Amino acid sequence: MVSGVSSPKKIDCEQDAAIVVEGLERIYPGGLRAVDGVDLAVASGEIYGFLGPNGAGKSTTVRILTTLLRPTGGRASVAGYDVVEQASQVRRSIGVALQEAALDPLMTGRELLQLQGALHGLRRAESKLRAEELLVRVDLVPASDRLLNTYSGGMRRRLDLAMALVHRPSVLFLDEPTTGLDPVSRTSLWTELRSLNDEGTTIFLTTQYLEEAEQLADRVGIIDHGKIVAEGTPQELGRLVGEPGLYVKLIDQTQSDRARELLTVHGAVSDRAAGGLTIRTGLGARAIAPIVRTLDEAQIEVDAVEVEEPTLDDVFLAVTGHRAEEAAEDDPA
């Protein structure tokens, strides 16, 4: 744990905790500690964002919490039920949309939803009604009679969500619900998740995007190599990075060497792979005016100066001392 990060929210009343995880561990055959002593608590009605790079242990945790995989150590309860001892009660209380959901491409959205209702024990009429409600809810009515293999990525994710909601679960688990989606589909899914949460559904969602966690989550846990390395509200995590840097884009890229030289008086300057410069002054947006003035005096024309919001990578670097992309290659032992 890094100092300055809030400790897990204390849940005074056990009934208020939708998810309680203590010392959770999953060692895969061969010895890999995919989940390595995770403690967390999610209050009823919260949106908890589980943020981490590929291979961090997010899906393994979700699989344990949704009773699909047994932990090799520790314990967890969801909706008040133990995930090992009371797996069927847990299953009745939760909705799950997994990363690798395999849907039958030769069924229509409506058929699949009705089937899901039947699997949850709804009678035929009930199941039809529920399917219609959910199609409206996730905005799939026009596509409801089309085969799944004609659905876009965003439509599939919305159908995944609808399927997870058939039995009105109190706790919803979503494993990287928007990975690979275009920005519009992502935003519309966020809106849907917010409204579900407003109606009282507790949401546990994994993501690789800090922005997603920032937009949606009340609290965020950052996981790396199976361990929670930081936890807090999005604002608290953002602060770990310090003042944001500024991105400076020049009209004439050939002036970039000269600009870099001149800007070092304001702070640390680095090149951006995509072109342009990043400058860290410790002043955030307040440094924009002096930077533009310096460049202006040297007759270097500025195309844009933007505040760079901290990315997952920046937060990651701040809490772990290494970059997120390198995480998967590090030796966990």
Ligand X SMILES: Nc1ncnc2c1ncn2[C@@H]1O[C@H](COP(=O)(O)OP(=O)(O)O)[C@@H](O)[C@H]1O
The structure tokens listed for 23 are: 């010392």
* Smallest separation, CB 40 to ligand X (Å): 15
Between 57 and 95, CB nearer to ligand X: 57
Is residue 201 involved in binding Mg ion (CB under 5 A)? Answer: no
Rounded to whole angstroms, how far apart are CA atoms 285 and 113? Answer: 49
Task: List residues binding ligand X (CB under 6 A).
Answer: 28, 32, 34, 52, 54-60
What six digits make up the tokens of 32? Answer: 């890999």
Region of 11-19, 59-67, 220-228, 325-333 interacting with Mg ion (CB under 5 A): 59-67
60 binds, among Mg ion, ligand X, none (CB under 5 to 8 A by kind): ligand X
Residue 29 C-beta: closest distance to ligand X, Å: 7
Q: Which stretch binds Mg ion (CB under 5 A): 58-66, 110-118, 189-197, 275-283?
A: 58-66
Specify the DSSP class assigned to residue 108.
B
Element of type H or E holding 203:
strand 202-207
Measured CA to CA in angstroms, residue 220 lies from 49, 158, 236, 276, 324 at distances of 5, 23, 9, 32, 16
- How big is the CA angle at 25 (ends 213 and 322), to the nearest 5 degrees? 50
Which amino acid, residue 12?
D
**Cα distance between residue 280 and residue 163, in whole Å:** 46
In angstroms, give the least distance from the CB of 176 to Mg ion.
6
Residue 60 or 178: the one with the smaller Cβ distance to ligand X is: 60
Burial of 267 (0-12, 13-18, 19+ CB in 10 A): middle
By beta-carbon proximity to Mg ion, the closer residue of 58 and 110 is: 58
Is 59 a residue that touches Mg ion (CB under 5 A)? yes
Quote the least distance from Cβ 32 to ligand X, whole Å. 5
Q: How far is the CB of 208 from ligand X (least distance, A)?
A: 8
- Compare residues 181 and 263 and give the one whose CB is closer to ligand X: 181
First vs last Cα of the chain: how many Å apart? 18
57 binds, among Mg ion, ligand X, none (CB under 5 to 8 A by kind): ligand X
Retrieve residue 13's tokens: 């009343």
Distance CA 26, CA 42 (A): 20
Instruction: Please name the amino acid found at residue 4.
Output: G
Q: Which does 276 bind (CB under 5 to 8 A by kind): Mg ion, ligand X, none?
A: none
- Name the β-bridge partners of 94: 171
Residue 55: CB minimum distance to Mg ion, A = 8
When the beta carbons of 32 and 262 are compared against ligand X, the nearer one is 32
Residues that bind Mg ion (CB under 5 A): 58-59
